[in-house]
Amino acid sequence: MSLLNDTLALYKALFQAHPLLLPLVSGILGLFIGSFLNVIALRIPKKESFVYPPSHCVHCHHRLGALDLIPVFSYVLLGGKCRYCKAPISRIYPFGEFVTAIFFAITSGVIGLKPELLVGLFLVAILSAITLTDVKYMLIPDKIMIFAVAVGLILRLFIHGLPLWNYGVAALVGGGLLYGIAWASEFFMKKEGMGGGDIKLFAFLGLMLGIKLTLLTIFAASLFGLIGGLILLKSSGQTRDAHIPFGPFIALGAICCYLWGDACIRAYIDLLIAI
């Protein structure tokens, strides 16, 4: 036990002496987690196993070797083309790896080496996965969200900065609010507004963020969605009916609120007091 404590203390001292080391290590970890998430995100909606068959080119079905599977670098080195049949590789693969790595690095830089970092990295991983499925299939898979809620619940039982009830209420409020919106859009507009995945996503965010930051996430996600949607529509010249996935904006809003939400609320209150 004392050996474990000594080792932990040693790592802590090392990461404290070199402030950029933790984000760097987390970023590299993020590259590989991102690569794994690509497989999960692209296979689960198609109901394929994510262990079998092993990674292969979707065009020529050639099995990929270790050199083809280095996150981001393989894509760049191969010029975005399959080594065997020269068919273009979807940009979503390096995108998933890069985004996961960047947010792993930022999250560890903001939180530092403490138990909450585990929660932060799990949050980033799940949000990356649903961003990938939503961009590729316009879908937030139920399977991923059930897993996320279950693991999130266990993590929060052991690691919590707020009282436990706060996360519990946030999960119920977040899920309930989205359920209400889904019900209302179905009832009044006679169309399916939201799937079960979205409802579970907000229950999960409640567990991770607590009441205050979950409510702030709904605001931030709507704002990002509005700005992003306008930019996308303008650049693609499409009509208003074009379908834009909302998942990536919820993901971005949630991670920003998780990392900087408290600071933003404090700055806003200070501003109100000052004027």
Question: Which spans of this chain sit near Zn ion (rule: CB under 5 A)?
Answer: 57, 59-60, 82, 84-85
Residue placing its CB nearer to Zn ion in the complex, 60 or 242: 60
β-strand partners of 81: 88
Residue placing its CB nearer to Zn ion in the complex, 8 or 85: 85
Residue placing its CB nearer to Zn ion in the complex, 12 or 91: 91
User: Dihedral of CA 244/149/179/169: which sign?
Assistant: negative
| Shortest distance, position 60 Cβ to Zn ion, whole Å | 3
| Shortest distance, position 78 Cβ to Zn ion, whole Å | 10
Spatial separation of the C-alpha atoms in residues 86 and 73, rounded to whole Å = 17
Residue placing its CB nearer to Zn ion in the complex, 15 or 84: 84
| Shortest distance, position 87 Cβ to Zn ion, whole Å | 5
C-alpha distances (whole Å) from 266 to each of 200, 262, 263, 273 are 29, 6, 5, 11
| Shortest distance, position 194 Cβ to Zn ion, whole Å | 37
- Angle separating helix axes 21-43 and 92-111, nearest 10 degrees: 140
Residue placing its CB nearer to Zn ion in the complex, 89 or 211: 89
| Shortest distance, position 65 Cβ to Zn ion, whole Å | 12
Task: Copy the structure tokens of residue 85.
Answer: 């049949």
**Cis peptide bond N-terminal to 23, omega within 30:** no
Beta carbons of 72 and 97 less than 8 angstroms apart: yes
| Shortest distance, position 57 Cβ to Zn ion, whole Å | 3
Residue placing its CB nearer to Zn ion in the complex, 65 or 163: 65
Beta carbons of 43 and 49 less than 8 angstroms apart: yes
Spatial separation of the C-alpha atoms in residues 147 and 153, rounded to whole Å = 10
